[in-house]
Amino acid sequence: MKSLSRRARLVIIGLLGLAFLSLACTPEQLALSQQYANYLNKDRHVISDASLAALRQCESGGNYAAVSPGGTYRGAYQFSQSTWNAVASRHFSFLVGDDPAATTPARQDAMARALYSEAGRSPWPVCGQRI
């Protein structure tokens, strides 16, 4: 029988070392590492261009300068200023404080995609169900 090469022996030793280290973890540490792995691998909400257009059409008739009758909801996706600022602070800090109805269509689209990636359809309770 032929002996293992030096590289093969090192690989085996490395794998045995990893196995030993995994046995040294507490169940809580293993659970936490699994949760983190799941977080890294979880599917994010992604909205297609067609669905984004449908959402925009439903929310504002496709009008990027739309403002609700009371002035609370603004822009193509009818953001409240507080929601806009919260999403902007997490994704596009330079947009915090901007009026959603006064910013560019590309920025409004990017903000809607960012919010959708975080929460799916739920921020748009009526129109979100139609896409």
Residue 119 has a pLDDT of: 93
**Cα(93)–Cα(76) distance, integer angstroms:** 20
Q: What is the pLDDT of residue 37?
A: 57
Structure confidence at residue 116 (pLDDT): 95
Mean pLDDT over residues 38-65, rounded?
86
Tokens 């009026």 belong to: 99
Assign 57 to helix, strand or coil: helix
Determine the average pLDDT of the residues in 30-54.
72
Q: What is the pTM for the complete model shown? A: 0.67
As a CATH number, domain 49-130 is 1.10.530.10
Q: Is the pLDDT of residue 36 over 70?
A: no
3-class secondary-structure state, position 100: helix
Q: Per-domain residue ranges for the chain?
A: 6-41, 49-130
pLDDT tens track for 5-31:
777 676 677 666 656 656 666 666 666
